[in-house]
């Protein structure tokens, strides 16, 4: 007997689920119901379409071979019926039926299913701020939003815009509109941008955004949208500041679109996403759900979480599609929260737990290290990466990695994600056999070097201190000696100006008498990336100084003001 499968939602998880089900059961009758006019949209590409990285809107809808994924494509290539501009208004799980409304004609119909997959995605959060309905306020959630912002870019009439929210979408939208010559201000309620990063790395990203000409305001929010004749002309901040603007993009996150599931009596989870088991089966055995509308397991903490990422939506859709035709044979175990974004000439990525996330989850047995070094040799145009590795102290198990900078951070995050998923420890990573040639990496890859530094800390061979801890010590007027072990030319070209003393590493052994003779005094060593700082610390420790620390990442990881 033919199995009738209906998939509600046609963005990422839905088409993947439909295609997987049809591939594994060619006799099944598979139908996608999509409320929007477009299908299988590459929504993560919206900011790059807006920013002019490519001009053909159709590329957001194309298969890898360049064929537009419309209803005709799904029918002819996949054997799947795809109905666009059609809304499912009701699910009757007892009768195994769904009620459909044709948004073009208004016609209502009811159709039955054997198995149902819900992939209704998310809804953007828009705060209940006075003036939120003024013309000129938008999100970047849909093709319609992307078309609107691309039109603004192409017309070139708008001069000032405000981005509300400093997360992934906010940062990507900032770049897109900044490239169009629009003056951008990012407003973030929290103390930092990109909260998946710890503060030290987030501050480096903020500095780069500012260097590119955008304004950044943190620790502040929008109190009111101001306008005339129904059109936005300014935003008023919570501290009373008014910022003139003609466009505001709200990017403060999303929440799962679960209204239809809730109305049908399906159970929701603790995060208000649709509750599913490991097979992505809902509380009704004939209804599955996948994508941004469900909650999944956070494998780092074994808690429930929302993980609205395009790659996970596809992976989940594949699992749900297989299970509706083959029985519950495959599982989706959960997420370790891996994400990455382009920030002008920087990349910012994270996988697993940051130090902040670990401590917020009640995990206190953590140790971290910051590594600043290039992604490949200087003679092959190596570019800087700054990573922060989080490890379980007692076991050495890798918990997380963050990486930012103009270098190839994607590779670092990918390796770390697989190491975390595989339960690898620092001991495993320090001798990892990775591909090496100068066009691609250093002889000791940045990721392995991070593990080497961590190994030195775990074995007590290096006493590290983060740039944030140094900044806090300075603020507390801590009595300490700051040793810069670079050369004089480097010192003249760039220095922190925080009361440091320059003694080049090569001269240190002959100038030990110049250091504080109180062998218990706190001495903090550093250089450009703190490799020489580490070697300086070893020399001092060998000569009797007992309280020597290395500022991890050196000057290149310092996100605060410098003298020059």
pLDDT band for position 457 (cuts 50, 70, 90): very high
Is residue 529 within 8 A of residue 554, CB to CB? The reply is yes
**Taking CA 353 as the corner, what is the angle to CA 348 and CA 359, rounded to the nearest 5 degrees?**
125
User: What's the topology of domain 4-123+255-326?
Assistant: FAD/NAD(P)-binding domain (3.50.50)
Q: Where are the beta strands (DSSP E) in 126-192?
A: 137-138, 160-164, 183-187
With a pLDDT cut of 70, the percent of the chain lying above it is: 100
Helix 409-421 and helix 446-458: axis angle, to 10°?
50
Which residues, in sequence order, are CB contacts of 516 under 8 Å at separation 6+? 481, 523
Q: What is the pLDDT of residues 98-133, one digit of tens each?
A: 999 999 999 999 999 999 999 999 999 998 999 999
User: Bridge partners of 343?
Assistant: 346
Would you say 506 and 514 are in contact if contact means Cβ atoms under 8 Å apart? no
- Quote helix, strand, coil % in the chain, to nearest 5: 30, 25, 45
| Cα-to-chain-centroid distance, residue 205 | 13
The model carries a pTM of 0.94
Fold of 464-557: Oxidized Rhodanese; domain 1 (3.40.250)
CB atoms within 10 A of CB 255: 16
CB-side neighbour CA atoms (13 Å) of 74: 27
Q: Per residue in 235-277, pLDDT tens?
A: 999 999 999 999 999 999 999 999 999 999 999 999 999 999 9
> Which tokens sit at 225?
């949208």
The domain limits of the chain are 4-123+255-326, 137-252, 346-363+373-458, 464-557
pLDDT digits (tens, 9 = 90+) for 164-180: 999 999 999 999 999 99
Distances (CA, A) of 385 to 347, 381, 456: 9, 13, 20
CA distance 451 to 200: 19
The mean pLDDT of the chain is 96
pLDDT, one tens digit per residue, over 368-379 is 999 999 999 999
What are the tens digits of pLDDT across the range 463-520? 999 999 999 999 999 999 999 999 999 999 999 999 999 999 999 999 999 999 999 9
Q: Please give the structure tokens belonging to residue 518.
A: 């109180």
Are 4-123+255-326 and 137-252 equal in CATH topology?
A: yes
- What number does CATH give the domain 346-363+373-458? 3.30.390.30
pLDDT in tens, 408-437: 999 999 999 999 999 999 999 999 999 999
- Count of H-run helices and E-run strands, the chain: 16, 30
Dihedral through CA 217, CA 218, CA 221, CA 225, nearest 10? 20
For the residues of 409-421, what is the DSSP string, one character each? Answer: HHHHHHHHHHHHH
Half-sphere exposure of 501 (CA within 13 A, CB side): 15
Fold that domain 137-252 belongs to in CATH: FAD/NAD(P)-binding domain (3.50.50)
């Amino acid at each position: 007997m033919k199995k009738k499968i209906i998939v509600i939602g046609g963005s990422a998880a839905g088409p993947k689920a439909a295609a997987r089900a049809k591939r594994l059961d060619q006799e099944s009758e598979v139908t996608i119901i999509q409320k929007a006019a477009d299908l299988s949209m590459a929504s993560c590409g919206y900011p790059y379409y807006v920013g002019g990285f490519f001009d053909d809107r159709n590329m957001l809808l194309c298969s890898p071979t360049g064929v537009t994924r419309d209803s005709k494509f799904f029918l002819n290539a996949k054997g799947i019926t795809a109905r666009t501009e059609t809304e499912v208004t009701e699910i009757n799980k007892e009768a195994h039926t769904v009620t459909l409304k044709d948004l073009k004609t208004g016609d209502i119909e009811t159709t039955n299913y054997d198995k149902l997959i819900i992939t209704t995605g998310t809804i953007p959060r828009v705060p209940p701020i006075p003036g939120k309905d003024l013309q000129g306020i938008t999100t970047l959630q849909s093709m319609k939003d992307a078309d609107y912002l691309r039109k603004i870019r192409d017309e070139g009439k708008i001069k000032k815009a405000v981005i509300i929210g400093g997360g992934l979408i906010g940062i990507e939208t900032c770049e897109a509109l900044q490239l169009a010559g629009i003056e951008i201000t990012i407003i973030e309620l929290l103390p930092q941008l990109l909260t998946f990063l710890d503060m030290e790395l987030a501050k480096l990203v903020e500095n780069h955004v500012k260097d590119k000409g955008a304004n950044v305001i943190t620790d502040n929010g929008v109190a009111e949208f101001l306008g005339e004749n129904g059109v936005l002309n300014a935003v008023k901040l919570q501290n009373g500041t008014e910022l003139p603007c003609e466009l505001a993009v709200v990017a403060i996150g999303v929440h799962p679109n679960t209204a239809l599931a809730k109305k049908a009596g399906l159970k929701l989870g603790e995060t208000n996403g649709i509750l599913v088991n490991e097979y992505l089966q809902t509380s009704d055995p004939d209804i599955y759900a996948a994508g941004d509308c469900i909650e999944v397991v956070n494998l780092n903490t074994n808690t429930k979480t929302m993980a609205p990422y395009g790659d996970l939506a596809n992976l989940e859709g594949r699992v749900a599609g297989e299970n509706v035709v083959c029985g519950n044979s495959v599982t989706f175990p959960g997420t370790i929260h891996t994400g990455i974004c382009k920030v002008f000439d920087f990349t910012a990525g994270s996988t697993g737990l940051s130090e902040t996330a670990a401590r917020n989850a009640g995990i206190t047995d953590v140790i971290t290290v910051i590594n600043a070094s290039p992604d490949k040799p200087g003679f092959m145009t190596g570019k800087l990466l700054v990573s922060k590795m989080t490890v379980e102290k007692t076991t050495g198990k890798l918990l997380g990695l963050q990486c930012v900078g103009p270098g190839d951070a994607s590779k670092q995050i990918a390796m770390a994600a697989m190491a975390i998923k595989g339960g690898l420890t620092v001991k495993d990573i320090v001798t990892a056999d990775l591909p090496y040639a100068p066009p691609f990496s250093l002889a000791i890859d940045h990721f392995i070097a991070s593990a080497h530094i961590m190994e030195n800390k775990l074995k007590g061979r290096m006493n590290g201190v983060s740039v944030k801890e140094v900044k806090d010590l300075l603020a507390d007027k801590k009595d300490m000696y700051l040793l810069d072990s670079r050369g004089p030319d480097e010192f003249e070209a760039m220095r922190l100006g925080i009361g440091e003393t320059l003694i080049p590493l090569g001269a240190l052994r002959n100038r030990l008498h110049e250091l504080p003779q109180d062998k218990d005094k706190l001495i903090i060593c550093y250089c450009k990336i703190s490799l020489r700082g580490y070697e300086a610390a070893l020399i001092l420790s060998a000569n009797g100084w007992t309280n020597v620390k290395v500022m991890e990442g050196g000057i290149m990881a310092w996100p605060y003001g410098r003298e020059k």
